Amino acid sequence: MRSFSVDDVDLEDVEASKDRDRPSHFLRLPNIQNQSLLSGLAYCIASCSMILVNKFVLSGYGFNAGIFLMLYQNIVSVTIVSTLSLSGVISTEPLTWKLIKVWLPVNIIFVGMLITSMFSLKYINVAMLTILKNVANVLTASGETYFFKKQHDRQVWISLMLMIISAIAGGVTDLSFHAVGYTWQILNCFLTASYSLTLRHVMDSAKESTRSGNLNELSMVLLNNVLSLPLGVILVLGFNEVEYLLETPLLRMPTFWLVITASGVLGLAISFTSMWFLRQTSATTYSLVGSLNKIPLSIAGILLFKVRTSMENSISIMFGLLAGVFFARAKLRENSQS
């Protein structure tokens, strides 16, 4: 899984990550012409596929152990990243007790963010989930103003208000409205915003706790996923998912294991492709493509899962998607001025 939610990456963090995630020894990519187009396409496919595959597992298969799914995906990510690191293909920071103690509060929020995302995705269609995730941007911007005294310009606040309006309108007109799913998603928005704000607060301390004085994206992926394993096991036991896992016939189906393994690989692929895309383009292109990518994702979610919708709900969804694009442009404009 990614170290943070792709859809909710702050645009300032995107710009900073171009320097932060530039390890001296990274993936050796072949010299391919038009790598910008190829990397952008790979990033879009990975980010869309991850959500659609998770939705298929939770709703298509009817799998009722979201915490176990998160745990298994994290095991897949740890295995792949550790193997690549040990073989010298990528560079990651060693996990020290000093770094773990600094990072633990961030990781607890990270795990909560992933679990609530799984729970909400089971009940909410992909298009509405994409719109509701915009609320996290509102909470993050408000938190930046309150805790870090960061001032946002008028266009940013207008776009955030449009996001709130679209989320409310979408919920009211949602023909498949599910109170449990919406409750989990609201909690997910608060945790996503908390993760972004907490990450910003502890990042300097985390960097000081590493040997190189830096913490690249892959090190964050490895750190988050390793620390999430014991917590995931405790939560699987606490939510009594073990009884379900012992009884469900899904775990005796090879195809099911193939699908959930693919979901873990896709989660990690988002990290690799996003870093590749960032190195080939600018933060402007990256953020705008990320916003525009929600449009085909929403359409695919509606068509693949045969979601019942109405004209009013479709308009609300499109309104929210365009508000997301407007927000990305407003943030980029704000950052360029500052």
Average pLDDT over residues 172-199: 94
Q: What single-letter amino acid sits at 94?
A: P
Cα separation, 108 vs 165, whole angstroms = 31
Burial class (CB in 10 A: 0-12, 13-18, 19+), 211: exposed
Q: Give the chain's mean pLDDT.
A: 87
pLDDT at 4 over 80: no
pLDDT at 186 over 90: yes
**DSSP symbols for 187-202:** HHHHHHHHHHHHHHHH
Contact 291/284 with Cβ under 8 angstroms? no
pTM for the predicted model, two decimal places: 0.87
pLDDT digits (tens, 9 = 90+) for 284-305: 677 778 888 899 999 999 999 9
Lowest mean pLDDT among 15-19, 75-79, 235-239, 279-283: 15-19
Cα-only R_g, the chain:
19
Cα separation, 221 vs 224, whole angstroms = 5
Give 3's pLDDT tier (boundaries 50, 70, 90): very low
Contact 211/94 with Cβ under 8 angstroms? yes
pLDDT digits (tens, 9 = 90+) for 196-206: 899 888 888 88
Of 198 and 26, the structure prediction assigns the larger pLDDT to 198
Give 15's pLDDT tier (boundaries 50, 70, 90): very low
Average pLDDT over residues 253-279: 92
Cα separation, 205 vs 224, whole angstroms = 16
pLDDT given for residue 20 in this prediction: 46
pLDDT given for residue 290 in this prediction: 83
Please state, for a pLDDT cut of 70, what percent of the chain lies above it.
89
Average pLDDT over residues 257-276: 92
Give 19's pLDDT tier (boundaries 50, 70, 90): very low
Contact 305/59 with Cβ under 8 angstroms? yes
- Tokens found for residue 185: 């998603």
Give 277's pLDDT tier (boundaries 50, 70, 90): confident
CB atoms within 10 A of CB 279: 17
What's the length of the chain? 338
- Tokens found for residue 101: 């103690």
Contacts of 15 (CB under 8 A, 6+ apart): 283, 335
pLDDT at 318 over 70: yes
Give 216's pLDDT tier (boundaries 50, 70, 90): confident
pLDDT at 13 over 80: no
pLDDT given for residue 200 in this prediction: 81
Please state, for a pLDDT cut of 90, what percent of the chain lies above it.
65
Give 338's pLDDT tier (boundaries 50, 70, 90): low
pLDDT given for residue 284 in this prediction: 66
Contact 93/211 with Cβ under 8 angstroms? yes
Helices (H) and strands (E) in the chain, counts: 14, 0
pLDDT given for residue 23 in this prediction: 44
pLDDT at 61 over 90: yes
